[in-house]
Structure 1
Amino acid sequence: MSYNRSLLLFITLFLLGIQTFAQKNKATLINAYLDKTHQSGLFNGNILIADHGKIIVKKAIGYADASKKNLLTTEYRFHIGSIAKEFDAVGMMMLQEQGKLNINDKVSKFFPNLPSWADHISIKNLLQYTSGLPDINWKTVHSDADHWKDLESLQKLDFEPGSNYAYNNNNTFLRRRIIEKVTGIPFNKFVLQNILNKVGINNGLVDPTDKDPLMARSFDNNFKQDGLEVPISGWTCLNLDDFYKWAQCIDNFCLINPASTREIIIPFGPDQQAGLGNGSMEADKVISHIHDGSAIHYQALLKTETQKGRTIIILSNQKQGNVYEIAEAIENILDGK
C-alpha cells in the first residue's frame, strides 16, 4: 500500500472515530436533557433521533397509561394527530400515478349527490386546504355518518375554492372518502394493505381500540386517562421504528415520485400546511419535512433535514405543548451550540 493511500486510510479512520465519539457524547447530553425534562414534568413519551443517517437516541420515557403501573417501551404505538393525514395525501398521489384519479378532478365526480359546491372543489384544493369548506361542527359530529349529514346540508362555502387557505378536517374527511370510492375498500384497509405493508411497517394501527396491545394511552396532568374514540375515522398510529421508516419513505420517494411529493409538501402559502405538513425541495430532493399533530392529550412532531441526515421524532401521550421547544434543544445539542 502506498504512503498516500496509507495516510488517507489513517485520516479517514481518525475522522470516523472523532465522529463516533462526538455522536456518543451528543447522545449522552440529549439523554440527560430528556431525563431532566421528564423529571420536571415536561415530557412523557418516546423519542427517536437520527443524525448523519444513524439512530443515536431511541428512548421511552415515562408511563404508558394513567395507571402509573405500566412503563413505556419503544414498541408502544401512539396517535400522531394530524400527521396521520399524510397517509391519505400520499394515497391520493399514488392513485393519480396509477391513473385512477387526477388531483384536478372535482369532488362532485365522486359524490354527485353533494350540493353544488362540490362542482367547484378539486382534490388539489382538499390537499392544500384551500377548498373553502368550513370546519367540522365538533359539537354535533360524533361519527362519519354525522359528518356526511352535515356536508349534505351545507349550502355555502366560506370562500371561493383556491382563493384562500383554511386548515380543517373537512378536507381530510373527503380525501379519505374519495380514496374509498375509487378503490372500493375501506380507508383503513387501504392504508394497511397499500401503504404500510409496502413500506415494511408491520406494527401500524388505524383507529385502534381498547383491545389493541402496546397502544400508549393519553392522559392529562392529573392522570385522567382519555378514551380512544374519535369523531371521524382513519387515524394511523405508529411506534418509533415504523415512524422512522415512514419519514425515510417520504425522503426517498418509495411510494410516490418527486413530482407527486412536491404537490403535497409545498403549501399554498408561507406558514401554511399541505398534505405532508410543510417542507422544502430542491430539484428532485426533499430538503426538509416538518409536521406536527395532536389528538386529545397526544402530541407528535416529525422533523427531517436530509442534508444533515437528521430525523427527530417526538411522540407524547401527555401533551404539554412543547414538542417544538424540545426539538430545538435537541438540534442545538446536535449542532454543538
Structure 2
Amino acid sequence: MIKIYLLNLLISFLSYQNQNKDTIDTYLNTLHKEEKLNGNVLIIQNGKTLYEKSFGYTDGSKNTKLSKEYKFNIGSVYKEFPAVSIMQLEQNKLIHLDDKVSKYIPDLPQWSEKVTLKNLLQYSSGLPLINWNQYFSKGNNVTFEDVFKDLQALDTLQFEPGTNYLYSNNNPILLIKIIENVSNMKFEEYLQKHICIPFHLKNIILKEQYPFIDKNKMAIPFDTHFKEDNYKIAIKNIILTTTARDIASWFEQLDTYKIINKESIKTLSETVITGDNIQSPLGSCTWKNNTIIKHAHHGSSGNYECLVSRFNQDGITIVILTNQKNGNVHEITDTIYKILKKDI
C-alpha cells in the first residue's frame, strides 16, 4: 500500500510539473508571436531543469535561430563579479572595505582620499555618472583610458561619500582597477583563476569590445525594427557575457555561500540608503531568519536586457536573457513565478 501511495504521489507530482511547463510554454510562445520576446529562458526548480527554450533570432538578419548555447551581454549584472572578487580579497585579508581608494590607486585627485572601497560597492562614493553619449555621439570607441582620464580630471564629487546614492559605472570600474593592482593580474585572469575555473563557469566570458570581434555563439542586440545596435565600447572588463545556464549556476553557488562566505554575502546585500530602486552590489537581496529568500538582478545594455531571479525559499531560479529589449523581463518573471506557485 505504501508503494502504491508513493507511486501515485510521484505521478501526481509529475503531472503537476507538466501542467506548469505547458502553461509557461503557451505564455512564452504567445509573447514571442506578439514580438515581445526574443531570447533564452531557463527555469530551474529544486536543482532540476524544469524549462529551457530559445525564442527568436541571434541577430537582426533573422537568418539564424537562437539556441541555449548562445551568450548574451548581461548589462549591470556584471557588477556582481568585481564585488564578489573584492570580498574574496577581503576574506584573504589583502584589503579592508574601510580602506580609501587612494591606498590602491595613487594617481587620482584628492577626493580618492575620502572614498572607501565600501562606498564604491554601495554606489555611495559621490562619483558622477559616465557620460556615455559624449562618446557615442562622436562615434568614439570608449575605452577604460577614456573613463579613467575623466576621473583624473574630476575636481569634486556629487555628494559627501557615504551620505547618498548614485548608480554610476565609475564605481565598479574603480573596483576592477583595485582588484588588478592588489592581485597583480588582469581582471580577466583573476576572474578565470578565482571564479570561472574553480566554480565551473566556462561560459562566462569577458569580451574585448562591442561590436564583437568574435561573434561565435553570441546573441547580437537589435531593436524592434531588427536594426542592430551600432555603438562602440572597448572596456573589456565590463562587457561580460554568459549563457543562461552559467548565470543560473553563479546565482545558485553564490546564494549557498560556495564562492564567498555568508558574512560577505550579507555585506554585498547591504544598501547605503533605503528606497525604490536602490541597489546593492548584488542587485536586490531579501533576507529572512538569517537566510536569503530572494536574490534578483536586472541588467541592460543597448538592446540587451536580462533578469535573473532566484527564489531560494521555493528552490526556483528564473533566467530571462534577451537581445531585443521590450522592457518586460520583470513581468515575464513575475508571471512564470505565479504559474509555478499556482497564484493565477
Match of 1:111 among 76, 85, 105: 105
**Segment drifting more, 65-74 vs 188-197:** 188-197
Residues 1:257 and 2:251 aligned together: no
Kindly provide the amino acid, as one letter, of the partner of residue 332 in structure 1. K
CA distance in 2, matches of 1:326, 1:38: 12
Residues 1:171 and 2:171 aligned together: yes
Shift of 1:214: 0.4
CA distance in 2, matches of 1:74, 1:307: 26
Shift of 1:140: 4.1
Gaps of 5+ in 1: 1-5
- Structure 1 counterpart SS, 2:43: strand
Give the match for residue 157 of structure 1: 157
Shift of 1:231: 5.3
Residues 1:243 and 2:243 aligned together: no
- CA RMSD, aligned part only? 1.6
Matches within 5 A, 1:101-140: 101-140=95-134
1:30/1:259 CA distance change after superposition, 3 Å = same
Runs of 4 or more above 6 Å deviation:
none
Gaps of 5+ in 2: 136-141
Q: TM-score, normalised by structure 1?
A: 0.94
Residues 1:270 and 2:264 aligned together: no
Shift of 1:199: 1.1
- Structure 1 counterpart SS, 2:172: helix
Question: Is the contact between residue 310 and residue 316 of structure 2 (CA under 8 Å) also seen in structure 1?
Answer: yes
Matches within 5 A, 1:156-235: 156-207=156-207, 209-227=212-230, 229-230=232-233, 232-234=235-237, 235=239
CA distance in 1, matches of 2:304, 2:102: 35
Residue by residue, what CA displacement relative to the aligned partner does 1:75-117 show, whole Å, maximum 9, x if unpaired?
Answer: 0000000001111010000111111111111100011221111
Residues 1:324 and 2:330 aligned together: yes
Question: Is the contact between residue 258 and residue 285 of structure 1 (CA under 8 Å) also seen in structure 2?
Answer: no
What count of residue pairs does the alignment treat as equivalent? Answer: 331
Give the match for residue 138 of structure 2: none
CA distance in 2, matches of 1:243, 1:110: 30
Residue by residue, what CA displacement relative to the aligned partner does 1:228-254 show, whole Å, maximum 9, x if unpaired?
Answer: 842533122110111111111111111
- Structure 2 counterpart SS, 1:198: coil
Match of 2:319 among 309, 313, 316: 313
Residue identity over aligned pairs, in percent, reads 37
Matches within 5 A, 1:267-306: 267-268=271-272, 269-271=274-276, 272-282=278-288, 284-306=290-312
1:146/1:23 CA distance change after superposition, 3 Å = same
Kindly provide the amino acid, as one letter, of the partner of residue 119 in structure 1. E
- Structure 2 counterpart SS, 1:199: coil
Question: Is the contact between residue 136 and residue 170 of structure 1 (CA under 8 Å) also seen in structure 2?
Answer: yes
Give the match for residue 3 of structure 1: none
Question: Is the contact between residue 140 and residue 146 of structure 1 (CA under 8 Å) also seen in structure 2?
Answer: no
